[in-house]
Amino acid sequence: MTDAQTTCTTCGALIRQITADRNQGLCVPCDRRAAAIPPDDFKLPFELLERIEALGADPDRFLEMTWRDGVSYTLGFLEKIEESDRLRDHWAPILLAFAKQCRLDAPPPSSAALAPRDLAKLPIYEASIQRSERLPPSRRSEALFCSIPLLAIPVALRCWPGDDERTVVLTPDEWDEWRKIYQHPDNAFWWFAHVWWRIDDPPDPDAPGMCGKNLTLPEGETPWLVTSGLSWGALAGGWTTELWSWNGTSARFVKEVGRAYS
Ligand SMILES: [Zn+2]
């Protein structure tokens, strides 16, 4: 089978020749964008406008979708948003009460009470949180879970994203607990996003993506795995894992060992 390649005439991405032949020289994303540009006089039908405004959304966001995929497609999409909003309205107050109770049951330790080994993790968490991607504004109405070990909860509250009232901070165990209370329906749009940070000390060799990774360090050093991740849909998001070293008095970054984004 031949697999001749060429470049997209719009963005220059390397693509297969058969893709170019099918799409007038364009890659799939460029072809979809080209097909999605509606003429200037294209207007959304009234039935769509009404629904979009009831959701408090910007009608312009739906122009391209409706032009490209049709009115009934956009109607189906709006129904999914409405479903997600209903789930959020029902579950968000339950979630907030759950998170509040978690902190009453388990207040985070003060940094003065931490051993040097744990204290050394706080600046690593802080740098990781500062680097994390902020969610796009179109997802503003969602709840935003942060899960982070108990000792680093004060860091997360201080650094992420500060005064954002959507934020719910839980430990990884509490997040697992919440997922037993709330089972998200298959195929429903997420009304929440999940951001997490974790330092595995010691690393779990069976963690996703860790299989076959070389975590060997010089004599006297202990490996830590520092992971930060984000997901805002069943298939949207990703994670990064770094190898750090602890020598008994200080921690240092060694290398990135894993990364996956969709
Ligand atoms: Zn392209």
Model pLDDT, residue 76: 94
pTM above 0.95, yes or no: no
> 24 CA to middle of ligand 1, Å?
11
Tokens of 32: 């979809």
* 226 DSSP β-pair partners: 199, 242
Q: How many CB atoms lie within 10 A of CB 196?
A: 20
Q: Which residue has the tokens 């959507």?
A: 166
Model pLDDT, residue 90: 92
Q: Could you tell me the mean pLDDT of each successive run of 10 residues in the chain, 262 residues long?
A: 81 89 89 82 90 88 89 93 90 90 94 93 93 65 80 87 74 93 90 89 76 82 92 81 94 89 70
Q: How many CB atoms lie within 10 A of CB 51?
A: 19
> 10 CA to middle of ligand 1, Å?
5
15 in helix, strand or coil? strand
Q: In terms of DSSP H, where are the helices of 136-171?
A: 153-159
> 25 CA to middle of ligand 1, Å?
9
> 38 CA to middle of ligand 1, Å?
19
What is the DSSP-derived secondary structure letter of residue 138?
G
Residue 190 sits at φ, ψ, to 5 deg, of -70, 135
d(CA 227, CA 197): 6
Q: What angle do CA 22, 24, 27 make, to 5 degrees?
A: 75
> 31 CA to middle of ligand 1, Å?
7
* Contact yes or no for 262/239 (Cβ under 8 A): no
d(CA 175, CA 129): 18
Ranges of each domain in the chain: 1-35, 106-261
> 262 CA to middle of ligand 1, Å?
18
* Contact yes or no for 107/156 (Cβ under 8 A): no
> 16 CA to middle of ligand 1, Å?
12
